[in-house]
Structure 1
Amino acid sequence: MTAHLGDQVLTPLNFLERAEAIHADRTAMTYHSQSWSYGEFAVTARRMAGTLAGHGVKPGDRVAVLASNTPLMLLAHFAVPLAGGVLVTLNHRLAAPELKYIVQHSGASLILVDNEFSAAAESFGIRTLAAEQVLDADGPEHARTVEDERSLISLNYTSGTTGRPKGVMYHHRGAYLQALAITHHAKLGLDTVYLWTLPMFHCNGWCFPWAITAAAGTQVCLDRPDPDTVWAHLRSGGITHFNAAPTVLTNLTQHREADNGPLGRIVEVGIGGAPPSPTLLSELTALGIHTTHLYGLTETFGPAVVNEPRPEWNTLSHTDLSKAMAVQGNSNMVGTGIRVLDTVGKKDGAPIADVTADGTTLGEIAVRGNTVMLGYYNDDAATEAARIGEWFKTGDLGVMHPDGSVEIRDRAKDIVISGGENIATVEVEHVLTSHPAVAEAAVIGVADPKWGEVPVAVVALRPGADVSTEDLISYTRTQLAGFKTPKQIYFRELPKSGTGKILKHVLRGLIAPGDEQVLQVDLRAST
């Protein structure tokens, strides 16, 4: 393709270059009592890149990071691509075998690690560099030029529905454009002080590391987003923005500090995951926290759909406002379309049309645009299965409203979303059935007031076998992260279709959300 005057490769690294040139003295990042200006932040990132290059990192090499929302994780979003590497952020909540699989599948040759996770990192069998080895490096600076904007900038792993994590390939162009969309929709600017409650390992923090740098705002790093710490920052840290799952926000509204009344300013919060309840919205509003509902997947660089608050909503009743805010919304500003496809019950090869935009007819949500992944790393079959022509099938079932906004009604892939974390039920079921006493298992999500949903298992035992609920839960904890383990296990034969498929909807129909006693009686009575 012929280059034209003014052509430039789109990469979020451009945002750091601009911030350093124009806002070198503004605060880029804080952590505890430390502070970095944009000038210092940029130099540190380039020196980190130099350290990585000195350890043999070449263009295309995978560099994993095992850290919480600390300076190491934030700076790695710039330093790794500056070295030409591909960033692989690791979910520190996962069990060691899960992390090891991701490291091996990605082909990472080096891990950057915070001290608290060093023991786990060393068990993966590849080279590690501790935070102080790269953050305090005073060697030569390094900044490799990005020549192809569709080259990889990061790999983000998601369990999907197969139980096997899949590597979602992000490119520089998509990260750049998503960051611009985030800057607009989140209302980021020079006065932004963003608190890192959302994990940066998740969709590269929805691209906020790059978006806030584009806006030349300040990023406040945290070791853990516990309510005490978050409230301390909200009260005295000048925080203007943060993102969170409904669970985190519920914990904040139920914290003793909430009793001290509203904040002295409006704080903008993006909510991902399940729609916030009317009660939660009311409590947040009373505290001076303004919420925006977002929807997206790892495969879409985070939020692909935004429910933008509209001025006419100011006259709505509380009930009507809650309903309006619960809808997922419309494509973000760089998106090029969202559809609800009539795939329900369609046979392979049959033509697929859009559902009627009546807010009632169910279909599968599909998106396209510059912020859809390149594909799944080393998994062409999964990539092809996720597409219809140029459209990416989300696997979520929803409706299209007459105004063009979409609303999720169910999750076609049976994913349980607990506290903002995706749990693949098949993965949990495989662990359960690996126990010698278990013949079959089905895992479903049950509504929970704290976590939104929690996984619950229904298990059929082998003839003559005997095992307790507590023993099975302990068994799953040895192989899965804690949030993935079933919170309750019930024993009975599993309902099945004529073809032998387990009927999860029947199990859901036997469950009274939040009432485990009813659940237990109903299941055992129907055995």
Structure 2
Amino acid sequence: MRPHDMGTLFDEAAAGGARTVVHLDRPFDIAPRAGTRWTVTELAGLVRATAARLADAGVRPGDRVGIVKDNHWDYDLLACAVVRLGAVPALLSARLGTENLVALLERLRPAALVTTSEVLARCRDTATGESARILVTVDSAAPGAVHLAALDASWPCVPVRRHDDEPLVIHHTSGTTGVPKLVVHSTRTLVHKLARFEAVRYPGIGIRPDDVLANASAYGHGRTFCWTAVVMSLAPARIVVLTGDDPETADPLLRAHPPTVVEALPASYIRLRPLTTRLDNPFRDVRLYISTYDAMHPPALRAYLTASRRARPLWMQGWGQTETGPLTFRFHTRRSALAPDAETTARRLGRPVPGRIRLRAVDPDTLRPVPRGRLGLLLVRTPALALGYVGELGRWDAKRVGDWWSTGDMGVHHRDGSVSILDRAADALPGMSCLRTEDVLEQRLPQALECVILGAPDGDPLPVVVTADGRLDPDAWKQATHGLPTLRDPAVLTWDEVPRTGTGKVRRAALARQLTGTAPAGTGRWT
């Protein structure tokens, strides 16, 4: 099956005989009493019923429908239901701060908002209610809103088809440097150019009929909408959906259904890492790990690859953006992760996808190409480039450089064609790579869950070390920083004290303001 219409995706998978069974760590928010085990046929029925309920609420073709709720895969089921009605879903993370969430809703101006009573309560003093004529809650009744379960699931609702180049779905970027952007994709860019390319049984890395897929993701973001199209097309034996990253909650489900393929947020890999050291760890049968969204540091790569009992497990690390989809891929093995130079080569994120992606590095000021092997601003050309930003046409146009797109990442395009990412342009500091310094620190500080380097406008960079208990031995820090650029004394925080995006990325600007009262020093403008 080749994915095409996301509104009928689950119907077509069921009609094609897909026997995939889905296991959830908690019931869907849109079906709280229906349990945690689902077949594809049941999922298709849930999408149809949800579409009928939204039609009963008044959603019509062409409407924008905002979706803001707790993290779960039913973000994508709701999106498919909205697509089925000919409307355009806009998936917004409930982890967004109220100020950013309100800003996005005002920019979006949805006809309908599908959300929770908690989100409505924290946005009550804003124009949220005025911008959406239809308010639907998925958890419980709320003033001025209708409860999803109270709507008619039998409302007539024939699937509405749309042109391949019309808006299909809206996702927001991570927002590490400020208010996220709202990215619009079409069927052609997201399904035809991205999902279809992935929905192939490639040797070694393709999804097999007997695979057990585990996913711990931010389901309101663009990657999982594409992932949903792929997995429904390739029909693995089982899918395990994790909505959180607490090791004790995830462990029983992973043990009951040991995965052979794992895809997770980098932040989730960090949080679930304690499971890799258990005697009968749940990753013992994994043949393929997949990571996107953010950089993976070498210690985490090693922990998971050595946890697998397979002879040759692989780690596929992708670099890409919401606007472009995947741009490069690199594979890690036990041997490469354990190599003496793993820390210095970890930033090499592979080569551009052949025949699909072109890449060049340019001077960020003049936009002239720099020689291979020299640091520059990375530009790409891809047929999967999104249609634009909602409400920010000028910002979108400013990131276009002729036929090229500015990624906003500073890196090196090496002579062998591979790419190294050294920093976001907005975070770049003269004379050092924040990401490489973070790699070294994490390697030398086994107790660190995460290390972050923040540029300071009035002196040396400020390092932030995240540990389980918010403590760090001063002697260990002194040894860890030997030979590194001069840094200030570290700020030591726990995981929950660090401001994060919906995908678990550190909100560096917010963290800098939290610790110093000022924004971080950076040289970039390509955000």
TM-score of the aligned structures, taking structure 1 as reference length: 0.71
Displacement, 1:198?
Answer: 1.2
**2:16 paired residue among 4, 7, 22:** 22
Cα 1:315–1:110 change in 2 (3 A) is closer
Q: Residues of 2 paired with 1:106 and 1:306: CA distance?
A: 33
Map residues 234-273 of structure 1 onto 2, 5 A cutoff. 234-254=254-274, 258=278, 260-261=280-281, 263-273=283-293
Could you tell me whether the CA contact under 8 Å between 2:258 and 2:283 is conserved in 1?
A: no
Secondary structure, in 3 states, of the residue corresponding to 2:288? strand
Q: Residues of 1 paired with 2:315 and 2:371: CA distance?
A: 30
Q: Which amino acid aligns with 2:248?
A: D
Question: Is 2:415 the partner of 1:402?
Answer: yes
CA offset digits 1:79-129 (Å, max 9, x no partner)? 111111111111111222221221121111222235664534666314332
Q: Which amino acid aligns with 2:197?
A: A
Map residues 57-206 of structure 1 onto 2, 5 A cutoff. 57-114=59-116, 117=119, 119-120=121-122, 124-125=128-129, 126=132, 127-131=134-138, 133-134=147-148, 138-140=153-155, 142-158=157-173, 163-176=178-191, 177-184=193-200, 187-205=206-224
Question: Is 2:352 the partner of 1:331?
Answer: yes
**1:283 paired residue among 289, 303, 306:** 303
Secondary structure, in 3 states, of the residue corresponding to 2:216? coil
Displacement, 1:199?
Answer: 0.1
Cα 1:35–1:79 change in 2 (3 A) is same
Q: Which amino acid aligns with 2:328?
A: V
Q: Residues of 1 paired with 2:322 and 2:111: CA distance?
A: 23
Q: Residues of 1 paired with 2:4 and 2:351: CA distance?
A: 24
Match of 2:321 in 1: 297
Q: Residues of 1 paired with 2:517 and 2:58: CA distance?
A: 54
Q: Residues of 2 paired with 1:227 and 1:322: CA distance?
A: 26
Q: Which amino acid aligns with 1:292?
A: M
Q: Residues of 1 paired with 2:349 and 2:418: CA distance?
A: 7
Q: Residues of 2 paired with 1:49 and 1:229: CA distance?
A: 31
**1:375 paired residue among 374, 388, 408:** 388
Identity of aligned residues (%): 22
TM-score of the aligned structures, taking structure 2 as reference length: 0.71
Q: Residues of 1 paired with 2:149 and 2:104: CA distance?
A: 25
- How many residues get paired? 440
Q: Which amino acid aligns with 1:166?
A: K
Q: Which amino acid aligns with 2:187?
A: H
Q: Residues of 2 paired with 1:26 and 1:161: CA distance?
A: 36
Q: Which consecutive unaligned segments of at least 5 residues does structure 1 have?
A: 1-7, 430-439, 452-468, 470-475, 495-501, 506-527
Cα 1:42–1:9 change in 2 (3 A) is closer
CA offset digits 1:312-368 (Å, max 9, x no partner)? x968962356666541112347x7223123223317xxxx33x333xx311221222
Cα 1:308–1:18 change in 2 (3 A) is farther
Q: Residues of 1 paired with 2:352 and 2:48: CA distance?
A: 35
Could you tell me whether the CA contact under 8 Å between 2:7 and 2:81 is conserved in 1?
A: no
Match of 1:522 in 2: none
Q: Residues of 1 paired with 2:294 and 2:16: CA distance?
A: 39
Displacement, 1:255?
Answer: 5.0
Q: Residues of 2 paired with 1:109 and 1:328: CA distance?
A: 41
Could you tell me whether the CA contact under 8 Å between 1:62 and 1:87 is conserved in 2?
A: yes
Secondary structure, in 3 states, of the residue corresponding to 2:299? helix
Cα 1:294–1:155 change in 2 (3 A) is same
Could you tell me whether the CA contact under 8 Å between 2:7 and 2:82 is conserved in 1?
A: no
Could you tell me whether the CA contact under 8 Å between 1:87 and 1:154 is conserved in 2?
A: yes
Could you tell me whether the CA contact under 8 Å between 1:252 and 1:258 is conserved in 2?
A: no
Displacement, 1:160?
Answer: 5.5
Q: Residues of 2 paired with 1:401 and 1:385: CA distance?
A: 26
Q: Residues of 2 paired with 1:442 and 1:379: CA distance?
A: 35
CA offset digits 1:139-173 (Å, max 9, x no partner)? 13534332311111111223668734321111111
Match of 2:495 in 1: none
Displacement, 1:22?
Answer: 1.3
What's the Cα RMSD here? 4.2
Instruction: Using the TM superposition, name which of 373-382 and 63-72 deviates more.
Output: 63-72
Q: Residues of 1 paired with 2:77 and 2:245: CA distance?
A: 19
**1:486 paired residue among 498, 511, 523:** 511
**1:226 paired residue among 239, 242, 246:** 246
Cα 1:441–1:273 change in 2 (3 A) is farther
Secondary structure, in 3 states, of the residue corresponding to 2:210? coil
